Structure 1
C-alpha cells in the first residue's frame, strides 16, 4: 500500500483565516520530505437556479491570479456553523437575494495535495430579492442571472475559473438540462 505518513509538523505562519505548516512526511519507501500544508476553514458555496434555468453569478476580479471571472457566492463557515446556513448567509450578503431551502449539491477538496480547504456546495431552486444593493457590494463588480446552457462555453472561454464553481455549475447543468 502506497501511503504517505505525516510524522509531525510545525507551524510557520498562522492568522485567523489560515495556518501554514511544514510537515515531515515519510514516503512509502522510507524517505522523508518536507511538505507544505495549508489549513483553511471550511467553505460554504451557494448556487441558486431560477425557473428559467438561470443561475445567479458574481462577476469579480481576483488580484492573486489577475483574472476576472464568474463565481458562485461563497465564504468561510464559522466555528460550529451549519454550512447550509453559511451558504445561504453568504448568498444573501453577496447578491441581495435570499435563497429558498438549501440542499447539498456536492463536496469538493480543490487542492487536496497541499490544502485542507473543504468546500460544500448547496443549491436552491428559489430565491427572493430582499435588497437592491447587496450588503457585500464590494464582493463583485456585478451580479447576473446567467443561463445554465451557457456554462460549458463560459468554462471553455476561461470565464468560470474557480474549481468549486466549475464543478457545481457543470453538475447543475447536467441535472437541469442533461
Structure 2
C-alpha cells in the first residue's frame, strides 16, 4: 500500500485553538480527494499515582457529548513549552496538587485520520497538596481512585476520554502486576 500525498491545503476556519483546513490529497491510484484536516496544539496529560495505587481524577461533564466521566487533568502546550512541564502545570491548576517528577508514559493520536491532535501522557509517583485548584471550574470534583477499579469504570462508561482510557489501562497493567 502506498502513501496518500497531500498536494496542498487551504484554511477554512481558524482561531487561537484550532485550524480547520481542506487538503488536496492524491491517492496511490492517482485520484484526488478533498480531505478535512483539524490542526490543534499538542496536548499534555498528567497521571499521578500515590503509594496506595490510586490515581487523582477529575469528574467532569463534557457538553459536546452530553456525558459525565472521570478524566486525567490535561491541556494544550504553550508555544515552545516542554510537554512534561505543561502536564505538571495543568495538573496543579486543575487539582491543587503539585506532582512529583513527570515521566513520559505514552503518546497517542486519538483521531489520526482527521486531526493532528497529539497527546503526550506523563505520570508521576505522588503529589503534594498545595491548596484549592486554580481552575476548579474544570471539574465537579477531584478524587483519588484506585487503579484496581479502572477496568470496571472503563467498561461501565465512566471513563470515556480516549487518552485517559489508554493511560489508565496501561498504568493498571504496569502497577497491578507487581
Query: Who is 1:20 aligned against?
Result: 20
SS of equivalent residue, structure 1 residue 51: coil
SS of equivalent residue, structure 1 residue 106: strand
Q: Number of aligned residue pairs: give it.
A: 177
1:101 and 2:98 correspond: no
Q: Which runs of 5+ in 2 are unaligned?
A: none
1:48-87 paired onto structure 2 within 5 Å: 48-87=48-87
* Structure 1 CA distance for aligned equivalents of residues 117 and 77 of structure 2: 11
SS of equivalent residue, structure 2 residue 105: strand
Query: Who is 1:148 aligned against?
Result: 147
Query: Who is 2:114 aligned against?
Result: 114
SS of equivalent residue, structure 1 residue 28: coil
* Structure 2 CA distance for aligned equivalents of residues 122 and 41 of structure 1: 17
Query: Who is 1:160 aligned against?
Result: 159
SS of equivalent residue, structure 2 residue 117: coil
Query: Who is 2:126 aligned against?
Result: 126
Moved over 4 A (4+): none
TM-score (ref. length: structure 2): 0.98
Shift of 1:2: 2.0
SS of equivalent residue, structure 1 residue 114: coil
Query: Who is 1:135 aligned against?
Result: 134
Once the two structures are superposed, what CA deviation does each residue of 1:77-99 show, in whole Å capped at 9, x if it has no partner?
A: 00000000000000000000000
TM-score (ref. length: structure 1): 0.98
Query: Who is 1:7 aligned against?
Result: 7
* Structure 2 CA distance for aligned equivalents of residues 76 and 59 of structure 1: 19
SS of equivalent residue, structure 1 residue 61: strand
Q: Which runs of 5+ in 1 are unaligned?
A: none
* Structure 2 CA distance for aligned equivalents of residues 30 and 162 of structure 1: 37
